[in-house]
C-alpha cells in the first residue's frame, strides 16, 4: 500500500476494497493468504495520524502487517522521542498537535515503532524489495538504508512545486521487483519489465486529493480508492481532484 499520510478514512476504505476487516478499535482481520505491506510515510499532512498509527502498530504487532520507514515517519519518531529532527516542517507540527491527547505510553510506543521500522524489506525469497524512497544496489550498509528512507532530492522544484528527485528506477537492472512511494504521481508508475529492472511507484497522492493505491503481489493487480478530499494543496493533483 502506498503513502497513507494520516488519511485514515481512505486507509479503511481501501482495506475494505482489498477484503480486510476492521472493528471500532482498529483491529485488523486478514483475507486468507494475504499480508498487508506498507511502503512508509504513514504520518503527517492528513487528518488522523494517531488513528493510522494505532491501526498499523496493532497489525504489525499481531504479525498481520509489515511497514518500512518513510522520511516523515523517521522525522516524527525523532520528534516524539526528543531526538534530532531532520528538516522540521509544519506537517510535523500538525502531527504533534494531533498526538497531544494521546497517552505518554502511546507516544513512546509510536516513536519506537516509527524509528524501529526497517528501511527496506526483502520478501518472496528476494524477488520483491519494498523501500519507501526506492533503492540503489550500488550503495551499502547505512548509506543504502539512508537512501531507502530519504532518496536524493536536488535543489530545484518541478513545475508543480514538488522536489526534483534522483531517478533511481532508471538505474535498477536487477531481477527483483522494487515497490516504493515517496514521490507523488497521478497514477501508479511501472518501470522496466518483469525480472528485468521492474519497479512500481504507488504513491498516488491521497493526501493531495488523488487516491490511495495498493498493488496486489504477485498478481500485480492495482486496487485504489479516491481521496475524500484534498487535505493539502498540490498543483499536480488539481486536475484530478478539482481545486478545493
- DSSP letters spanning the chain: ----TT-HHHHHHHHHHTT-EE-TT--EEPPTT--EEE-S--SSSSS-HHHHHHHHHHHHHTTSEEEPPPHHHHHHHHHHHT-PPSS--HHHHHHHHHTTTS-HHHHHHHHHHHHHS-SEEEEGGGTEEEETT---TT--HHHHHHHHHH--EEEEE-TTSPEEE--GGGG--SSSEEEE-SS--SS-EEEEETTEEEEEE---BGGGTSEEEEEETTTTEEEEEE-SS-SS--GGGHHHH---
Is 3 inside a domain boundary? no
pLDDT of residue 243 exceeding 90, the answer is no
Is 180 inside a domain boundary? yes
Of the candidate ranges 39-43, 89-93, 123-127, 196-200, the one whose mean pLDDT is the lowest:
89-93
Across the range 148-165, mean pLDDT stands at 91
What pLDDT, on a 0 to 100 scale, did the predictor assign at position 13?
A: 98
Is 1 inside a domain boundary? no
Task: Domain count for the chain, please give it.
Answer: 1
> Could you report the per-residue pLDDT of 119-128, keeping only the tens digit for each?
999 999 999 9
Percent of the chain with pLDDT over 70: 98
Query: Residue 134: which domain range?
Result: 8-241
Task: Report the C-alpha gap between 66 and 210 in whole angstroms.
Answer: 24
* CATH number of the structural domain spanning residue 88: 3.60.21.10
Of the candidate ranges 11-25, 48-62, 71-85, the one whose mean pLDDT is the lowest:
71-85
218 cis-preceded (ω within 30 degrees of 0) = yes
Task: Report the C-alpha gap between 46 and 53 in whole angstroms.
Answer: 12
The pTM of this model reads 0.94
Is 2 inside a domain boundary? no
pLDDT of residue 170 exceeding 90, the answer is yes
Is 47 inside a domain boundary? yes
Amino acid at each position: 500500500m502506498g503513502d497513507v499520510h494520516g488519511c485514515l478514512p481512505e486507509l479503511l476504505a481501501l482495506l475494505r476494497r482489498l477484503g480486510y476487516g476492521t472493528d471500532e478499535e482498529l483491529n485488523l482481520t486478514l483475507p486468507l493468504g494475504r499480508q498487508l505491506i506498507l511502503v512508509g510515510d504513514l504520518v503527517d499532512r492528513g487528518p488522523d495520524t494517531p488513528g493510522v498509527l494505532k491501526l498499523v502498530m496493532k497489525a504489525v504487532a499481531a504479525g498481520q502487517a509489515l511497514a518500512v520507514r518513510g522520511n516523515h515517519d523517521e522525522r516524527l519518531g525523532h520528534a516524539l522521542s526528543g531526538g534530532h529532527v531532520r528538516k522540521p516542517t509544519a506537517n510535523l507540527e500538525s502531527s504533534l498537535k494531533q498526538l497531544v491527547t494521546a497517552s505518554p505510553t502511546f507516544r513512546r510506543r509510536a516513536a519506537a515503532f516509527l524509528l524501529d521500522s526497517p528501511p527496506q524489506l526483502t520478501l518472496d525469497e528476494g524477488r520483491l524489495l519494498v523501500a519507501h524512497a526506492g533503492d540503489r544496489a550500488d550503495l551499502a550498509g547505512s548509506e543504502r538504508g539512508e537512501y531507502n528512507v530519504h532518496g536524493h532530492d536536488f535543489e530545484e522544484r518541478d513545475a508543480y512545486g514538488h522536489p526534483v528527485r534522483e531517478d533511481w528506477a532508471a538505474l535498477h537492472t536487477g531481477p527483483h521487483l522494487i515497490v516504493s512511494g515517496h514521490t507523488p504521481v497521478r497514477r501508479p508508475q511501472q518501470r522496466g519489465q518483469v525480472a528485468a529492472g521492474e519497479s512500481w511507484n504507488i504513491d498516488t497522492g491521497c493526501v493531495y486529493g488523488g487516491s490511495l493505491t495498493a498493488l496486489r503481489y504477485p498478481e500485480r493487480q492495482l486496487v485504489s480508492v479516491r481521496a475524500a478530499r484534498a487535505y493539502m494543496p498540490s498543483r499536480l493533483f488539481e486536475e484530478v481532484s478539482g481545486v478545493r
